[in-house]
Amino acid sequence: MKWDTLEEEPCSLARTVAVIGDRWTLLILRECFLRVRRFEAFQSSLQITRHLLSERLKKLVRFGILRRVPYSEAPKRYEYILTQKGLDLYPIIMAMVHWGDAHMGDERGRPLLHEHKSCGKLFDPVMVCSECGEVLHAKQVHVHTGPGRKEAAG
Amino acid sequence: MKWDTLEEEPCSLARTVAVIGDRWTLLILRECFLRVRRFEAFQSSLQITRHLLSERLKKLVRFGILRRVPYSEAPKRYEYILTQKGLDLYPIIMAMVHWGDAHMGDERGRPLLHEHKSCGKLFDPVMVCSECGEVLHAKQVHVHTGPGRKEAAG
DNA sequence: CAACTTAGTTCCTTTTTCAGACTGACGCCT
DNA sequence: AGGCGTCAGTCTGAAAAAGGAACTAAGTTG
């Protein structure tokens, strides 16, 4: 398996992994959802090398997850804003945060708490079936080969 | 930021990323959820180098996501089975698959279709609020500093 | 006994990442 | 006008990780 063709694999997970499947990208996205937008802000809060940050931001822009928007003309300066495609990554990020809360916590409790503005309560994200609304469990799901893959290779 | 201390960061996303935040690990987990259990099976379906596969499996066992279970005594052979902690990664994997379906698809349609055994229908995973059951959107969530972090650093 | 299977390990090359200095365009102060 | 600071990067050489392929080990099959 080659990393540069991963996004063409007949597997939606592989395609997603091709875009956001590395440590820095996921941490950069965390910052995006915490409303960080500028190069220096990402760099100082993540302590990522400037080189890698530059690379990763370019990649996220290339894939349409971030938009590079000028916020100053005089010295040309840009900030990075989540597109709708980027905002749609929210369930992934929240699922990861939730798993970390549940399984990687320490005695001090959660680092962050999430409040749902609609209902005003602190919540956990729950994944449900779009059809019946029940909570999803791996064992309750059966996988079928879809049209995007000729052969059933798993 | 150092990778070997990432799991101690006061951030649940960083802790999760420390465990599953690389390409191979995510692809290995995909195979696990497709009921792949054995070294050779992972290796041949992923085309990962044996060295890396060995490393990643050890790491997943170390973090309690997989269990290494003997399935043959005579030549000692082991298979790798998801623990409950591992099964709990399902929402992350499904969220990634769903995003790939929605945003990285091609003209041929989805590679895989998922059927919910409980209701018998093909479904998409949806993330909802544990308290009110509404679909979650990034903009409807307010983040508070929790007890696991002294300072509000984002 | 030779060939095959399974689950790794070892060795060497190539690619990525890291840490930090450097660039360039401007803005502000005196 | 000169010097300092800010922002958004680029460049460079060293260190770490990944890739590729052969090798080991224990047992099974023909």
Bridge partners of B78, per DSSP, are B70
Query: In this predicted structure, what is the pLDDT of residue A153?
Result: 40
Bridge partners of A67, per DSSP, are A81
Q: How far apart are CA B15 and CA B33, in angstroms?
A: 21
List, for residues B41-86, the tens digit of each pLDDT value.
999 999 999 999 999 999 999 999 999 999 998 888 999 999 999 9
Which residues get their CB within 7 angstroms of nucleic chain D?
A 3, 38-41, 49-51, 54, 57, 68, 71, 75, 77-79; B 3, 22, 24, 47-52, 55, 74-76
**Closest by Cβ to A119, choosing from B88, B97, B132:** B132
- Reading the block at residue A26, the tokens are 């996921």
pLDDT tier for residue A152 given thresholds of 50, 70 and 90 = very low
List, for residues B80-106, the tens digit of each pLDDT value.
999 999 999 999 999 999 999 999 999
Q: Does the pLDDT at position B152 exceed 70?
A: no
Write the CB contacts of B5 (distance below 8 Å, at least 6 apart in sequence): none
List, for residues A3-30, the tens digit of each pLDDT value.
778 888 899 999 999 999 999 999 999 9
Nucleotide nearest to B76 (CA to C1'): D26
List, for residues A35-58, the tens digit of each pLDDT value.
999 999 999 999 999 999 999 999
Domains in chain A with CATH codes: 3-106 (1.10.10.10)
**Helix residue spans in A8-154 (DSSP H):** 12-20, 23-33, 39-46, 50-62, 84-87, 90-103
User: Which amino acid is present at B23?
Assistant: R
Nearest to B68 by CA among B78, B53, B55, B83: B78
pLDDT tier for residue B153 given thresholds of 50, 70 and 90 = very low
List, for residues A61-75, the tens digit of each pLDDT value.
999 999 999 999 888
